[in-house]
A and B are shown apart, each in its own frame.
Chain A
Amino acid sequence: MIEIEQLSKRYGATVAVDNLTFTVHPGTVTGFLGPNGAGKSTTLRMILGLNTPTEGSVIVDGMPFAGRPRGLRHVGALLDAQDVHGGRSARAHLQALARSNRIPLGRVDEVLAEVGLGKAAGRRIGGYSLGMKQRLGIAGALLGDPPVLLFDEPLNGLDPEGVLWVRGLFRRLAQEGRTVFVSSHMMAEMEHTADRLVVIGQGRLIADESLADFSARNAVTGVSVRTPELDALTPVLNAEGGQVRREGADPDAGLVTGLPADRIGELALRHGLVLHELATRTSSLESAFMALTADSVEYLAGAAR
């Protein structure tokens, strides 16, 4: 369990993390979402005691992580797959980590096999692809068989097989009762991985709820309608409790909310109105996430959104 209490981190005038409070529970995969620069990595570093909070506290399984003499048996972390020395072999890298925590060296080959790096273990990490480095980072996180696991953007650079494997792994780790906290800037990644979501933007908490609640609350559904008689159809639908909104430049297109597609079709038939298109639309969680964090995107690309 990770308990974050009124956590803030400021670098001079820049506020990286602003008064965050949330708890990450065991037995679930919790997604940690936010656009680039939202403060995800800073928060993860503060959980690990790598960065000192300006204010607030982080308690991991009862005490601040920095207070433990050795860490691998308590928290396994993959912060950045590049946080390794490229000159070493994967095996030597993990052996040094294992040795420092008094973990039997036999465990190194176990985790290397588990992440699929058994054959590449003797090669320099510098020659690894990003996906292989992610696997190595995951191997390092698993070394101490810890009850809490942190992963910062673990899916970057993984091939489709790797993505599936990682999702299965996270699910298994959570089912074993562990606390699994996974950051991402892509909602689509979390949609298929997380049970709960913590969403932040510009260092502030935006949402902290189950994925089901999040999608029920945020995924906007509607029915898109295209008819040359939109002006006639609108009062008919309004009378039945539907709302019609014009869609884009096409004068014939509208988005109806509050009525299902079949009911709209029946009403149109009864009033003799021609329909060219009638389709139920479910906006993706990705767009819900985008809408939610739109106000807090730090690095907005030049093009209009």
Chain B
Amino acid sequence: MTTTTLSPARPATRPAAEPAPRFTDLLAAEWIKLRSLRSTYLVLALAVLAAIAINLNAVHTDLTYIDQPHPQLPGFPPYKYDPLYHGLNSISGALMALAAGSFGAITVFGEYTTGMIRTTFAAVPDRRGVIVAKVTLVTGITLAAGTIVSVTSFFGSNAMLASRHVGLSITDDGCLRAVVAYAVLVPVCALIGMALGALVRHATASIVSLVMLLFIVPMLFGGDRYRWLKEIGNHLPLAAEGRLAVNPNSYTTMGKYAPTLLDCWITLGVWAVVATVAAVVVVRRRDV
């Protein structure tokens, strides 16, 4: 046995002069974490490239179609190409929503499933600071991604269409609104993903619940038959964005019970706020 005699308790070493805690340190730490996991940001980067490619390709393919003669059909309005509908494609929109939601979810459940969350909170007991830093960073990155897709798609597609004299300018009615809504949907979905990741704390279950919420639930609340069903459907994230991106100078019809534009903006905002609050509250309360 190598028990050394009990040394009399010396004064505990004092912690070295501790610098004041700053939120920017947490933000920088989260940035290091994100940057050092290639698979996480690759999801988003690939989605951005794919979304732009889909949008531009859709409009590019339409160019030959626009060149064809469009005989007037009896009972129908004259043919008119809608650059917003095609250039800010709903397929790309859904792709970005899913990628951003998954990205947000991964940043949260990734900490829980690996156990990293305990190491993180042992280093930073201020849990709210940690999750707010994560939310800030993810919101910033996904907003940038959404903006890149939206702006590139809008200007790229309309530059191609200019030769056919059907292109739109950002100052045209409804265009700026559509571009902003198309971009803003991306961080809103990322925040929803973070909230689901924090609530569920399981990889597969988080992603499945995200897909359910974004794509399956809207199917249950369609149709014009029951107003209350439709009203719920109008207040889902993709529906709100879809309404905001509609070209006011097109023949796209809104159906009955169409929400107002303000209603749609508020819907997106409420989703973002509720998701953030949910993530912060559950992360702070629970044992890890």
Contact = CB atoms under 8 A, between A and B. Distances in A.
A284 B90 CA distance: 73
Contact of A84 (B8, B116, B130): B116
B114 interface: yes
Interface string B25-47: 11011101101111100000000
B12 A177 contact: yes
Contact of A147 (B4, B7, B12, B39): B12
B19 interface: yes
Interface string A117-149: 000000000000000000000001000111110
Nearest to A137: B119
Contact of A70 (B2, B39, B124): B124
Nearest to B133: A100
A28 B288 contact: no
Contact of A72 (B36, B37, B123): B123
B177 to A, nearest CB: 39
A182 to B, nearest CB: 14
A80 B122 CA distance: 12
A215 B122 CA distance: 34
Contacts of A77: 122
B19 A175 contact: no
A175 B7 contact: yes
A24 to B, nearest CB: 11
Contact of A45 (B29, B119, B287): B287
A85 B15 contact: no
A66 B288 CA distance: 13
Nearest to A105: B32
A79 B288 CA distance: 12
Interface string A188-211: 000110011000000000000011
Interface stretch (A86-94, A234-242, A268-276, A295-303): A86-94
Interface in B74-110: 110
A96 interface: yes
B123 A71 contact: yes
A67 interface: yes
Given A83-B114, A84-B119, A95-B32, A69 B129 contact: yes
A212 B3 contact: yes
Nearest to B40: A87
A52 B124 CA distance: 16
Contacts of A51: 287-288
Q: Which size bracket describes the interface of A in this complex?
A: 35 or more
Nearest to B15: A73
Interface string A1-41: 10000000000000000000000011110000000000000
A66 to B, nearest CB: 5
Nearest to A178: B13
A66 B123 CA distance: 10
A1 B126 CA distance: 21
A147 B36 CA distance: 30
Contacts of A101: 25, 123-124
Interface residues of B, number: 50
A77 B121 CA distance: 11
A65 interface: yes
A102 B37 contact: no
Interface in B145-183: none
Contacts of A145: 13, 15-16
Contacts of B35: 92
Contact of A71 (B2, B22, B38, B125): B125
Given A28-B9, A73-B15, A84-B119, A100 B124 contact: yes
A251 interface: no
Nearest to B121: A50
Interface in B118-146: 118-126, 129-130
B125 A69 contact: yes
A148 to B, nearest CB: 8
B11 interface: yes
A83 B288 CA distance: 11
A145 B28 CA distance: 21
Given A83-B116, A191-B1, 10 more contacts: A79-B118, A85-B110, A85-B116, A87-B39, A92-B36, A96-B30, A99-B29, A101-B124, A176-B13, A179-B12
Interface of A: 1, 25-28, 45, 48-52, 61, 65-75, 77, 79-80, 82-89, 92-93, 95-97, 99-102, 140, 144-148, 171, 174-179, 191-192, 195-196, 210-212, 215
11 contacts: A27-B9, A51-B288, A83-B116, A83-B118, A85-B114, A96-B33, A101-B25, A140-B119, A148-B12, A178-B12, A192-B1
